[in-house]
Every structure is written in C-alpha cells, then in structure tokens.
Amino acid sequence: MPEPTVVIVDYALGNLYSIHHACTRAGLAPVITSDRTQILQADAVLLPGMGAFGDAMRTLRQLDLVEVLRDVAASGRPLIGICLGIQLLLSESHEFGTHRGLDIIAGSVVRLDKPRVGDKMLKVPQIGWNQINPARPWKATLLDGVPAGEYMYFVHSYVPCPDDDGVVLSYTDYGGVKFCSCIQKDNIFACLFHPERSAKMGLKIYQNLAGLIRQSMEGNHR
C-alpha cells in the first residue's frame, strides 16, 4: 500500500516545512499546495496557521478554499487543524474585531483573558510548554498513546471555545485560565499547540494520523 498523501494547505501563514518534516517522519507523503484539486483528492488535509485570524480567512477566500475545506470536512476524510488552524475551523473570532470562520465546528475564538499566578499577571501570548489534560478518553483518537498531562508547545494569544463541550478532547490551564487545547469530532481533529514542535509525543500524533488513514484506505479496498 502506498504512503498516505496528506496535503498541507499553503496560504502563506503556517509553519509548513516543520509540519512537512514531521509528516515524513511519521510515514506520510506530504504535499504543500493551495491547489483545489490536490486538496480534494488527498487522503487527509492539514490546515496549519500562524498569525491573525482575519488575515487568514481573507487569504483562504482569495484562494477560493473556504468551500473546498468545508467539502473535505463533509467527505469523511481526516481534516486536521494546527494552532491558528483550530481557530479557523470555528464559526467566528473576536481577534481585532469580529471575523467569520469556516464554521465547521460551531463556536467562537476569544482572547486568553488575564492569566495570573497570585498577584503576577502572566504574559500573553503564551509561548512555551504546557500540559494537555483529558476532557474525555483519548483511546481511539489522535491522542491515543499520549500520556495525560503531557507537555506540548504553545504559541497563542486566543483560544477556541466550541459550543459543544463534547467535541473537546483536551484542556490546558494557563495562569488559572482553563481552555480547550484540542478537539476531535468524527473526522475532524485540531489542536492549539504545535505537535511538530512537541518532541516525541507530538510526533506520536502524526503517527496516529498515518495509522488512521491507512485503516481507512484498507477499508475502502475491501
């Protein structure tokens, strides 16, 4: 069986080559592109992102990729969001005004509000390592095999707030502010942290993705 093809969506706002390297190490065949046809034909689609929500959505609209990504979500093939990518999957963001998102997961994106330890205010954005904790069991999800409380690498000022708590896979605490750090709903998985920058357990997420895609491909060939 050939290596599963994963398209990494290129809209000039992502850590593309680190993600490409992580995918390759996990046994995937990554392609960086903004081509609609390649995105629609891929075994899985990975939506990365760093920067401002409004700029990202504007670029996705200019590239005519909004409906393409919604079609991927509806197709049942894995759609993976990373960092800004998890935010873009939601209905709207309140970063520098109000901006409509892809509306694949109902919910909003809000600022990481006043984290503190005692009388000391913590810096926003959060930059560095922090723990992810189970909001529900991780068995048979892309966090399968990742220990509860594992440290992942974060760079963010805003957090996703899904309307349905049932889609939340992990939560993280930063200065007393508890927020959703990972979601999974059917074929959609997204994380606020950067697994490609999170050492061995971050790579485990990409390996789980490879296993999921191969299982799906085997089912389609029976």
Q: Is 194 a catalytic residue?
A: yes
Best CA proximity match to 212, nearest among 82, 22, 27: 27
CA neighbours closer than 13 Å in the CB half-sphere of residue 222: 6
Phi/psi of residue 63, nearest 5 degrees: -85, 0
User: Which of 23, 83, 180, 182 is labelled catalytic?
Assistant: 83
Residues 20, 99, 156, 194: which is the catalytic one? 194
Q: What is the DSSP secondary structure assignment for residue 4, as one 8-state letter?
A: P
Is 196 a residue of the active site? Answer: yes
In sequence order, what are the residues at sequence separation of 6 or more whose Cβ sits closer than 8 angstroms to the Cβ of residue 144?
138, 208
Strand partners, 47: 81
Residues 6+ apart with CB under 8 A from 54: 93, 95, 96, 97, 99
Q: Which residues contact 184 (CB under 8 A, 6 or more apart)?
A: 141, 142, 143, 167, 169, 190
Which residue among 92, 95, 150, 196 is the active-site one? 196
**83 catalytic residue (yes or no):** yes
Active-site residue numbers?
83, 194, 196
